[in-house]
């Protein structure tokens, strides 16, 4: 069974959760789903990240009772493991835009569904509702996802792949998405603006990898984006 | 309490402290790698050129980029036009990335992406 089929079956399995307002697919599967007909050709890890606003936590827990074919890991119940080979792992992660802890990395304690809350997920805003047949998949707006990926704090192969996922998102950005990116960028602290530019510079110099967007073909575009962010920085 | 998640939070916070420290170092020697990457972002091509060509370029008023002097051993890095590059006596193209060929070069000529003149 191909990866696309497993990804779509997993989305269908968690559809009750996806129907909750504010829930978003995050992470590397987004550019896979944004490919024409959700072809899912990028080589990324075999899991599906679902971002849950902390204020929706109780509603999501209620919805989890309707999920079939996946079960929480005993060791880390925020990870739901497939019970058959036709599904992939699901990771539930927390986004906090409102509480007094917004901006922190913290654990939302819960015996049933504890969540690791990542501050950069607050950059994600609801975007396109992707329809695959009768399945509605809530995706984030590209600008926030792109910035979130540029800020990802990982090194090595995983870090490089996250940057290539950022490139995949960048390649589907429309002019208005880049305007939104600029605004979001200017809303970051000076340290995070620097990290975003640093991520972009690393992306520009990466080697191509099989079944990932080739950064060497888009270096001029990345250079223009870098110059745009620097101009915005100077003019702020 | 979920120990595995708390352990991940602890590691993330530690990495965040390191990133903050790196940010504070950005104008000093540890920031050199970002500054070098930033220069290379604007380069469509990178070429190793001969020392004598680099001498000629300097004598002709081309200033090597400051970033080259921040590395040990120092490098002379120039942005050239295609025409200026074609006028060099010897050149060898290297990938625009932090690979050993580029890092070992003592004299580098970079050519900007098309249409980038004056954007920096």
pLDDT at A45 over 90: no
Same domain? For A42 and A159 the reply is: no
Query: CB distance A205–B120 less than 8 Å?
Result: no
pLDDT at A90 over 90: yes
Calculate the alpha carbon distances from A200 to A136, A164, A229, B37 in Å.
32, 10, 10, 9
Same domain? For A38 and A105 the reply is: yes
Domain boundaries, chain B: 3-112
Same domain? For A206 and A189 the reply is: yes
Calculate the alpha carbon distances from A83 to A101, A137, A156 in Å.
35, 22, 31
Q: Which domain holds residue A43?
A: 1-140
Residues B20, A195: Cα–Cα separation, whole Å: 10
Same domain? For A206 and A119 the reply is: no
Domain end call among A81, A105, A140: A140
pLDDT at B120 over 70: no
Same domain? For A119 and A166 the reply is: no
Domain total in chain A: 2
Same domain? For A135 and A234 the reply is: no
CB < 8 Å to B3, chain A: none
Mutate to test the interface with A, among B1, B3, B5 (most CBs of A within 10 A): B5
Identify whether the C-beta of residue A102 lies closer than 8 Å to the C-beta of residue A89. Answer: no
Helices and strands, number each (H, E), in chain A: 9, 9
Residue in chain A lying closest to B6 (CA): A107
pLDDT in tens, A173-207: 999 999 999 999 999 999 999 999 999 999 999 99
Same domain? For A77 and A178 the reply is: no
Residues B113, B43: Cα–Cα separation, whole Å: 6
Same domain? For A65 and A5 the reply is: yes
Same domain? For A130 and A217 the reply is: no
CB < 8 Å to B98, chain A: 205
Mean pLDDT (whole number) for A97-106? 87
pLDDT in tens, A103-161: 889 999 999 999 999 999 999 999 999 999 999 999 999 999 999 999 987 778 888 98
Residues A50, A52: Cα–Cα separation, whole Å: 6
Distance of residue A182 Cα from the nearest chain B Cα, in angstroms: 17
Same domain? For A115 and A156 the reply is: no
Same domain? For A132 and A149 the reply is: no
Query: CB distance B34–A223 less than 8 Å?
Result: no
Same domain? For A71 and A153 the reply is: no
* Most confident of the following: A219-228, B10-19, B108-117: A219-228
Domain end call among A118, A140, A162: A140
Rg of chain B over Cα atoms, rounded to whole angstroms, equals 19
What pTM did the predictor assign?
0.91
Calculate the alpha carbon distances from A74 to A61, A71, A114, A128 in Å.
16, 9, 12, 34
pLDDT in tens, B51-103: 999 999 999 999 999 999 999 999 999 999 999 999 999 999 999 999 999 99
């Amino acid at each position: 069974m191909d990866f696309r089929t497993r990804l779509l079956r997993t989305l269908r399995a968690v559809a009750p959760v996806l129907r909750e307002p504010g829930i978003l697919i995050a992470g590397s599967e987004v550019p896979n789903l944004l490919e024409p007909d959700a072809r899912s050709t990028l080589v990324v890890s075999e899991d599906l990240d679902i971002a849950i606003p902390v204020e929706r936590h109780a509603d999501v827990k209620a919805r989890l009772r309707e999920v079939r074919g996946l079960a929480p890991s005993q060791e880390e119940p925020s990870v739901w493991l497939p019970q058959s080979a036709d599904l992939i792992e699901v990771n539930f992660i927390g986004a906090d835009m409102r509480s007094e802890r917004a901006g922190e990395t913290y654990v939302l304690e819960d015996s049933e569904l504890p969540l690791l809350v990542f501050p950069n997920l607050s950059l994600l805003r609801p975007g396109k509702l992707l329809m695959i047949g009768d399945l509605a998949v809530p995706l984030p707006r590209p600008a926030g996802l792109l910035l979130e990926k540029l800020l990802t704090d990982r090194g090595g192969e995983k870090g490089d792949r996250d940057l290539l996922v950022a490139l995949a998102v960048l390649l589907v950005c429309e002019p208005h998405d880049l305007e939104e990116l600029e605004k979001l960028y200017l809303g970051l602290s000076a340290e995070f603006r620097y990290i975003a530019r640093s991520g972009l510079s690393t992306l520009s110099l990466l080697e191509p990898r099989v079944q990932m967007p080739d950064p060497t073909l888009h270096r001029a575009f990345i250079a223009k984006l870098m110059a745009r962010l620097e101009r915005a920085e100077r003019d702020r | 309490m979920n120990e595995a998640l708390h352990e991940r939070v602890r590691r993330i916070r530690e990495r965040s402290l390191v990133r903050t420290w790196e940010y504070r170092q950005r104008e000093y020697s540890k920031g050199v790698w970002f500054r070098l990457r930033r220069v290379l972002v604007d380069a469509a091509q990178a070429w190793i050129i001969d020392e004598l060509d680099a001498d000629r370029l300097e004598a002709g008023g081309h200033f090597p980029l400051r970033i080259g002097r921040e590395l040990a051993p120092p490098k002379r890095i120039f942005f050239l036009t295609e025409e200026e590059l074609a006028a060099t006596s010897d050149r060898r193209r290297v990938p625009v990335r932090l690979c050993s060929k580029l890092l070992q070069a003592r004299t580098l000529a970079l050519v900007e992406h098309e249409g980038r003149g004056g954007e920096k």
